[in-house]
Amino acid sequence: MQSKRIVRRMRAYQRNAVKPDPAKPVTGVSIRAILDDELAKRQALTGATHEELSCRVAAYVKVRHRYIWRTGLVLEEEQTSARETVRQYLDTIGNKYLRMSNGLLDKSDSEDRKAPALEAKSANHSMTDEEEDDELATIISSDDEEPIEFDLQHLEERRKLDPELFQSVSKEVQKMLTVLRQLTLQGPSESGFSPLVANLEQLEVALRVADFAAQELETVEDDETLDLLESVEDEIWKLYKGKLPISGVSWGALSGQPVVVVVINLPQASPVDLPRSINGVSIMIEYGKVAPFHRSFHSELKPGISVGRRSSVTAATSGPFFSNGNETYMLV
């Protein structure tokens, strides 16, 4: 099975290569320039060497997009989709190579992750044999970068059948992660433990997702608790806006304990760098996009329409709009 995955990647790498034709010149955009632009926006520092990360990203992109043969350029028309692929890599697989700085991002709106087009270049710079060998070796050896698919429905069922055992397993996974993360900081051992850490991080996230999905979210009415939850939501947006593709943040309670739910616009169980709790409030994870409920029936938001599911505690009818000069509000 592993060898077939390698063959498929090599075939895609070969088929995506576009050989320059002197009679019909092609232009492309540097994959490394796209990567550097995304790293700058995230204020991210590479844990691995920059050359290693660049090589891994280039190989990952070329397997998925058309590029100019023996160069580090994707075709100019592939620039937008290739950038999305680079973002996906950094959001998931690339987490183990990055360290985020503590500063806030200048361009951090996750809904406005648009980027100016980079300068197109002609295919006048060929890769060296060594650079091409490194790239091919990365494609062959990158099986640890294939995301593991966890059966979240099965995990959710196990959580319902035996909550105590499920919580025990989850805690043991957290303990192992703590130890292995410490080992990865001890120099030479980093490369040996990084794949294991990445897989355990994905398992830990899958367990968190299943844990939340197996429970019923309750409403919170206590003003003091609501203030706490609102402050945690503000902290999440402050720390992770632009660094993670957050679709939305909501809150509630599980078994009487307040929780904040963060919805991430990534594939199910993708590893994300979110703490388990902030200020004593548990952080739960869901995946997907958040769309306003009213869009199921109305193209635009206006007074008098339903803005929540009738069977849900969020059921409400929209009221009149008003503005304070800077922002517009709606009564419900």
Q: What per-residue confidence (pLDDT) applies to 195?
A: 63
Q: Are 28 and 121 in contact (CB under 8 A)?
A: yes
Question: Looking at the whole model, is its pTM more than 0.85?
Answer: no
Q: Are 101 and 45 in contact (CB under 8 A)?
A: yes
DSSP state string for 184-202: HTSGGGHHHHHHHHHHHHH
Report the first-to-last Cα separation within the chain, whole angstroms: 55
Sequential pLDDT tens for the chain (332 residues): 557 778 888 888 999 999 887 777 788 899 999 998 888 877 655 555 678 888 889 999 999 999 999 899 999 899 989 998 888 788 777 665 665 443 333 333 333 445 556 666 665 667 888 888 888 888 887 655 555 666 777 888 888 888 888 888 888 988 888 888 777 666 554 445 666 777 777 788 888 888 888 888 888 888 999 999 999 999 999 988 877 888 888 889 988 899 999 988 877 777 777 888 899 999 988 887 766 554 555 556 667 666 655 444 455 666 677 677 677 766 66
Q: What's the Cα-to-Cα distance from 233 to each of 93, 263, 285, rounded to whole Å?
A: 26, 12, 13
Query: Which residues, at least 6 apart from 247, have a Cβ–Cβ distance to it below 8 Å?
Result: 263, 264, 265, 288, 289, 290
Query: Which residues, at least 6 apart from 300, have a Cβ–Cβ distance to it below 8 Å?
Result: none
Return the structure tokens found at 21. 């034709």
Return the structure tokens found at 320. 């009149």
Q: What per-residue confidence (pLDDT) applies to 310?
A: 47
Closest to 260 (Cα-Cα) out of 241, 238, 286? 286
Q: What per-residue confidence (pLDDT) applies to 37?
A: 87
Give the β-pairing of 67-68 and 17-18: parallel
